[in-house]
Amino acid sequence: MSSPESTEWKKTACIICALNCGLEVQTKGPRIIRIRADKEHPISHGYLCEKAQRMDYYQNGADRLSSPMRRRADGSYEAIDWDTAIGEIAEKFAAIKSKYGGESILYYGGGSQGNHLGGTYADSTIKALGIQYRSNALAQEKTGEAWVQGKMMGSGVHCDFEHAEVAVFLGKNPWQSHGFARSRVILRDMQKDPNRFIIVIDPCKTETAEMADYHLAVKPGTDAWCLAAMTAIIVQEGLVPMAWHEEHTTGLNDIVAVLRRIPVSRYAQICGVDEALLRSATRCIAQAKSVSMLEDLGVQMNIHSTLNSYLNRLVWLLTGHYGRPGTNNAFVPFLNLSHSGRDQAKKAPKSATGVPKAGRTSPVTGSKIIMGLIPCNVIPEEILTDHPKRLRAMFIESSNPVHSLADSQKMREALRALELSVVIDVAMTETAQQADYVLPASSAFEKAEATFFNIEVPKNGFHLRQPLFEQRKGTLTEAEIHARLVEALGAVGPAQYGLLRKAARWGLLPYALAFGWKSMRDKRVARNAPVVLYRTLGPYMPKGMEAGASLWGICQMYVRQQPQAAARAGFGGHSLLAANRLFKAIVGSPSGVVYADTEYSHSWKAVRLPGQRINLWIPELLPEIEKLAQGGPAVDAQYPFVLSAGERRTETSNTTFRDSTWHKKGPFGTLRISPQDAAELGCQAGDWVRVTTRRGSADAEVELSEALQSGHVSLPNGLGLDYRRADGVVERKGVSLNELTGVMERDPIAGTPWHKRVPARIERIPTSAPVTA
Ligand SMILES: Nc1nc2c(c(=O)[nH]1)N[C@H]1C(S)=C(S)[C@@H](COP(=O)(O)OP(=O)(O)OC[C@H]3O[C@@H](n4cnc5c(=O)[nH]c(N)nc54)[C@H](O)[C@@H]3O)O[C@H]1N2
Ligand SMILES: Nc1nc2c(c(=O)[nH]1)N[C@H]1C(S)=C(S)[C@@H](COP(=O)(O)OP(=O)(O)OC[C@H]3O[C@@H](n4cnc5c(=O)[nH]c(N)nc54)[C@H](O)[C@@H]3O)O[C@H]1N2
Ligand code: SF4
Ligand SMILES: [Mo]
């Protein structure tokens, strides 16, 4: 807890990207004043990047909330007290539920890059309101990949670059965006080693591409041709290890028949990569002892998104790279965030959070539900319609969809068309500014917090962070907010708590027995398990750690689902006792705990398809493969540039830092363009241009970059926020990208947006006045 001046180093974690590196910090009053890496963190092992130093900009942002807010008819907000807020929200949701059913309410979000604990409590609210549909940012990036992964393996995989001979990055720039533990250290190690190779598939000469042995600089949006050519080279040059396939896969003959027909030279030409380079990079993959491959937004937010995820997997699976040190491997999740594999898995994975099973498609557009999520891009269409099954209300937690989803204008319209919208956030965000009610959460440093992005192999860690500060006055933790809501809804209350509270006083074993007994007799206990845990076990947790109570239930589930991985990590024996020990270890370890330790052979046990064989054949994608023969992506003469709307750079942090002054050195929010294109437009570095897309216009400062191909421009993600400074002035720095993007430009299967390939027009302008249309 905070004291006025503290020279003590307190442990916490960075919340800027999914790695959540362990930190040690010193605080002074309400501020974080010094930050260094935590060497004891079981995953980051003392690694940090520069962004962690700016954590105080999150903690002490000027637009943080300190009271519940209610929207007035004129669009302004008034502060109200918590009892009023909870009472009114519960009453209004209950009315919507009884009028249209819980399926008319969408739950969106549940955690951003490093605050996922609150989302576990939302489970109780979701059940109490009978909510059937959920979505979050994963449904605008990872659902295509998850769908493919479900069809091919039924489980999630992660790369093992530390041990890989060859690393392949597809539409991914780990130097900036990270994505695996200690990214820069591992990249440097690989670069230095003459026997290891880095292959980058990216139109830009990124920092990672600069380090690569092979840079396949595809033309923007042509990865499908590049990957199809690589898979064809593997098949046509006889680089398929047949014995491996006989043992491990199905569908080889079907896919080989398709790939045999692919004209490699023509596809190399379409993607703009020299055929000889493409062939030698492909041979490098086929001949290596181990290859790990990581794809990300460059292909996932692009045309052929789902197809690219499939072709990427074919590259490493056709060449037999799976289930060994240095290849991609199945990781052991602590809490399963993904519902992938529902289609083909022998046993459909149970939702660890127990979220009610939604229909397989969204109510209005009939879009596929993948990972239990409706595609982000269809949300406005699910609201702005007179369809009787349309969504009528939204519950938004720890997310900023007005800013982060395609077509901000439409998202604002959709929110205002709802009968009720409620936002839980720490700041008065762009989304909060459209909501009927805004509930202020205590920050990630004022409560127990954790990430469920636990994807490392073979050892996997979980880090329950302790609070650095008291809760800001007027704020509540998500656990407390959800508990108050479900109690106000009458879903649970003292009748469920009494006995369990008594048992908790006696220790975890009596508590576990009482919980089992009580939940068999009273359905409300199991149904509201997270809130019941918070109300009964929470009070016996160390001060400030109450919100960690739901982890007790997650430990119980985890140990039952993964007894071997848990036992190897030291949590073996009777599952109930082992789970209790794991829970105690988690609560008592400020740097985090290794909860899973697996052998690489676990990757095969994790394949949840018949015979634990990987399936190589996805017939649904055949028409897309065949369409490639028609030639490269069309160019619209009116919008001759390809805009990549959302590049990760040193100045980006999603929207965790809302105050742009966090970024101290170098350009901020510039449009990167090749010197040649800039010269043709008559501009120089520092000039301003207007970028116009089919959806809108925005102004940006020009930065000349040799990294970009002619015809390709890029803008950074997460900027252009409307930040209210301490002096009350609302400032917007950088481009609010989704004023420029549309909801219809999306993948035909997963509905993921094509943000990396937005057709655009660029004109030089004399002023720097920002416009949005
Ligand atoms: N600094 C920083 N780090 C972050 C974040 C942040 O905001 N700031 N955000 C985090 C989040 S939420 C995520 S999802 C990850 C995303 O991490 P990345 O996916 O690595 O990030 P991006 O820079 O959006 O896109 C990656 C690459 O795609 C390339 N690209 C553009 N068009 C194409 C194309 O047509 N084909 C190919 N092959 N590549 C193309 C770009 O040149 C870029 O290098 O980063 C995380 N890390
Ligand atoms: N055009 C374009 N759009 C993009 C992208 C792109 O590249 N291009 N990238 C996309 C990607 S990959 C992602 S992941 C999304 C991210 O977009 P979002 O999912 O909207 O997430 P964040 O920007 O991380 O914002 C998280 C919110 O959580 C709030 N918050 C922080 N701490 C707490 C807390 O303790 N409790 C609560 N309740 N709230 C808290 C923050 O104030 C913030 O409003 O953006 C996407 N949007
Ligand atoms: S931004 Fe990511 S890599 Fe950098 S310190 Fe934070 S969590 Fe670690
Ligand atoms: Mo993301």
CATH for 10-59?
Answer: 2.20.25.90
Residue 119, H or E segment = helix 117-128
Q: How far apart are CA 546 and CA 565, in angstroms?
A: 27
Mean pLDDT within 648-666: 95
Q: In the prediction, which pLDDT does 769 show?
A: 53
Q: Residues 539, 546: contact at Cβ < 8 Å?
A: yes
Selection from 523, 576, 572 nearest residue 553 by Cα: 576
pLDDT of residue 337: 73
Q: Which of 359, 586, 630, 358 is closest to 451 using CA atoms?
A: 586
16 lines ligand 2 (CB under 6 A): no
Q: Looking at 153-302, list the stretches that DSSP marks H as alpha helix, in order from N- to C-terminal side.
A: 174-177, 183-192, 207-210, 223-236, 242-248, 252-260, 264-271, 275-287, 297-300
Measured CA to CA in angstroms, residue 42 lies from 18, 37, 399, 439, 542 at distances of 15, 12, 28, 34, 22
Ligand 2 atom closest to residue 141's alpha carbon, by position in its atom list: 12
Assign 352 a pLDDT band (cuts: 50, 70, 90): very low
Q: Give yes or no for residue 771 having a pLDDT over 60.
A: no
Tokens 């050892």 label which residue? 459
Task: Return the ∠ at Cα 477 (arms to 476 and 481), rounded to 5°.
Answer: 75
Distance 452 CA to ligand 2 centre (A): 16
444 Cβ inside 6 Å of ligand 2? yes
CATH fold, domain 69-140+338-597, is Rossmann fold (3.40.50)
Token output for 309: 């995820």
**Whether pLDDT at 351 is above 60:** no
d(CA 699, CA 467): 41
Q: Taking a C-beta distance cutoff of 8 angstroms, is the pair 107, 131 a contact? A: yes
- 354 pLDDT above the threshold of 80: no
Q: Which of 496, 531, 534, 538 has its CA nearest to residue 517? A: 496
Does residue 342 register a pLDDT over 50? no
The pLDDT-based confidence of 3 (bands split at 50, 70, 90) is low
| Protein residue whose Cα sits closest to atom 29 of ligand 2 | 398
HEC string for 688-739: EEEEEECCCEEEEEEEECCCCCCCEEEEECCCCCEEECCCCCEEECCCCHHH
- DSSP H helical ranges for 507-544: 508-521, 523-527, 529-536
Q: Alpha-carbon distance 535 to 549, whole Å?
A: 9
Work out whether the CA dihedral 237, 173, 181, 120 comes out positive or negative. negative
Distance (Å, rounded) from C-alpha 477 to C-alpha 544?
Answer: 10
Q: Is 402 in the pocket of ligand 2 (CB under 6 A)?
A: no
The protein residue whose alpha carbon is closest to atom 4 in ligand 3 is 49
Question: CA distances (Å), 708 to each of 272, 356, 492, in order?
Answer: 14, 46, 57
Pocket test for ligand 2, best of 16, 20, 58, 400 (most atoms within 8 A of CB): 400
- Whether residue 641 contacts residue 712, with contact meaning beta carbons closer than 8 Å, is answered with yes
**How many angstroms is it from 602 CA to the middle of ligand 2?**
33
Q: Is 427 in the pocket of ligand 2 (CB under 6 A)?
A: yes
Q: What is the phi/psi pair of residue 31, to 5°?
A: -110, 150
Which range, of 173-187, 344-358, 437-451, 739-753, averages the lowest pLDDT?
344-358
What integer best gives the mean pLDDT of the chain? 95
- Ligand closest to Cα of 652 equals 1
Contact 739, 409 (CB under 8 A): yes
Q: Which residues are CB-neighbours of 314 under 8 A, at least 6 positions away?
A: 227, 231, 255, 259, 616
Q: Is any ligand 1 atom within 6 A of the Cβ of residue 651?
A: no
CA angle, residues 366, 398, 309, in degrees to nearest 5: 50
The answer on pLDDT for 306 being more than 80 is: yes
Identify the pLDDT of residue 7.
Answer: 86
Q: Which ligand is nearest to the CA of 220?
A: 1
Whether the predicted pLDDT of 87 surpasses 90: yes
Counting atoms of ligand 2 from 1, which one is nearest the CA of 738? 1
* Torsion, CA 206, CA 211, CA 213, CA 218, rounded to 10: 0
Number of H helices, E strands in the chain: 28, 28
Which ligand lies nearest to the CA atom of residue 50 in the structure? 3
Rounded distance, CA 246 to CA 348, Å? 26
pLDDT at 336: 83
Non-local (6+) Cβ contacts of 401 within 8 A are 108, 109, 376, 379, 411, 431
Ligand showing the shortest atom-to-Cα distance for residue 20: 3
For residue 59, what are its two tokens? 């903690």
Contacts 24+ apart (CB under 8 A), 770-773: 770/698, 770/699, 770/732, 770/735, 771/690, 771/697, 771/698, 771/699, 772/696, 772/697, 772/698, 772/736, 772/739, 773/696, 773/697, 773/739
> Residue 200 CB: number of other CB atoms within 10 A?
27
Burial class (CB in 10 A: 0-12, 13-18, 19+), 312: buried
Cα-to-centroid distance, 178 and ligand 1 (Å) = 9
**Cβ(624) – ligand 1 distance below 6 Å:** no
| Centre of ligand 3 from the C-alpha of residue 202, in Å | 22
Token code pair at residue 145: 């990949």
Task: Give backbone dihedrals phi and psi of 519, rounded to 5 degrees, phi first.
Answer: -75, -20
Reference 144, options 219, 208, 217, 224; nearest CA is 224
- Residue 15 gets the label, from left (phi > 0), alpha (psi -120 to 50) or beta, of alpha
Q: Which helix (H) or strand (E) holds 103?
A: none
H or E stretch including 500? Answer: helix 494-506
Evaluate if residue 312 carries a pLDDT over 70: yes
Measure the CA–CA gap between 345 and 342, rounded to whole angstroms: 6
Asked if residue 548 has its Cβ within 6 Å of ligand 2, the reply is no
Give per-residue burial for 602-634: e unless 16+ CB within 10 Å, then b: bbbebbbbeeebbbbbbeebeebbeebeeebbe
Residue 126: CA atoms inside 13 Å, Cβ hemisphere, count?
25
Centre of ligand 4 to C-alpha 135, Å, is: 14
What tokens does 25 get?
A: 């910090």
Instruction: Tell which one of 19, 463, 654 to mutate to probe ligand 3, the residue whose CB is within 8 A of the most ligand atoms.
Output: 19
Considering every ligand atom, which ligand is closest to the CA of 19? 3
CATH fit for domain 157-330+611-625, picks 3.40.228.10, 3.30.300.30, 2.102.10.10, 3.40.605.10: 3.40.228.10
720 lines ligand 1 (CB under 6 A): no
Ligand 3 atom 7: residue of nearest CA: 20
- pLDDT for res 768: 54
What is the separation of C-alpha 448 from the centre of its chain, rounded to a whole number of angstroms? 21
- Specify the 3-state DSSP secondary structure of 134: strand
Express each pLDDT in 571-608 by its tens digit: 999 999 999 999 999 999 999 999 999 999 999 999 99
User: C-alpha angle 220/226/228, rounded to 5°?
Assistant: 135
Pocket test for ligand 2, best of 112, 476, 746 (most atoms within 8 A of CB): 112
Residue 245 amino acid letter: H
What pLDDT, on the 0 to 100 scale, is given for residue 4?
Answer: 59
Ligand nearest to the CA of 650: 1
Task: Report the pLDDT value the prediction gives residue 627, as an integer from 0 to 100.
Answer: 98
Under DSSP, is residue 170 helix (H, G, I), strand (E, B) or coil? Answer: strand
Nearest CA to ligand 2 atom 13: 137
Please choose from 25, 55, 56, 178 the residue to mutate so as to test ligand 3's pocket, defined by most ligand atoms within 8 A of CB: 178
Beta bridge partners of 328: 322
Quick one: pLDDT at residue 345? Answer: 32
CA distances from 45 to 48, 115, 177, 183, 595 (A): 9, 20, 18, 12, 16
Pocket of ligand 3 (CB under 6 A): 14, 16-17, 19-21, 48-49, 51-52, 178
Contact status, residue 732 vs residue 769, Cβ threshold 8 Å: no
CA distance 222 to 357: 37
Query: Does 353 have pLDDT greater than 50?
Result: no
Q: Are 24 and 567 in contact (CB under 8 A)?
A: no
The CA 174 to ligand 1 mean position distance, Å, reads 8
Residue 760 CB less than 6 A away from ligand 1: no
Residue 339 has pLDDT above 60, yes or no: no
What is the 3-state composition of the chain as percent helix, strand, coil, each rounded to the nearest 5?
40, 20, 45
Question: What percentage of the chain has pLDDT greater than the value 90?
Answer: 94
Return the higher-pLDDT residue of 7 and 9: 9
Residue 1 has pLDDT above 60, yes or no: no
pLDDT of residue 358: 40
Q: Residue 51 CA: which ligand 1 atom is closest?
A: 1
CB-count burial class (<10 Å; 0-12, 13-18, 19+) for 353: buried
**φ, ψ (nearest 5 deg) of residue 179:** 120, -15
> What gap in Å lies between CA 391 and CA 381, rounded to an integer?
9
Q: Which atom of ligand 3 is nearest to the CA of 17?
A: 2
Say which CATH architecture domain 634-765 belongs to: Beta Barrel (2.40)
* Placement of tokens 């160019």 in the chain: 635
Cα 41 to ligand 3 centre (Å): 13
CA 390 – ligand 1 centroid, Å: 33
Question: How far apart, in whole angstroms, are the C-alpha atoms of residue 260 and residue 257?
Answer: 5
From the centroid of its chain, how far is CA 300?
A: 12
Residue 312 corresponds to which amino acid? N
- Per-residue pLDDT, 5: 65
Kindly state the tokens that stand for 623: 């028409």
> In the predicted model, is pLDDT for residue 359 greater than 80?
no
Domain boundaries, the chain: 10-59, 69-140+338-597, 157-330+611-625, 634-765
Q: Are 723 and 660 in contact (CB under 8 A)?
A: yes
Is ligand 2 within 6 A of the CB of residue 654? yes
SS3 (DSSP) at 164: coil
Ligand with minimal distance to 648 CA: 1
User: Please, are residues 144 and 506 in contact by the beta-carbon 8 Å criterion?
Assistant: no
Nearest atom, ligand 2, residue 648 CA:
7
227 lines ligand 1 (CB under 6 A): no
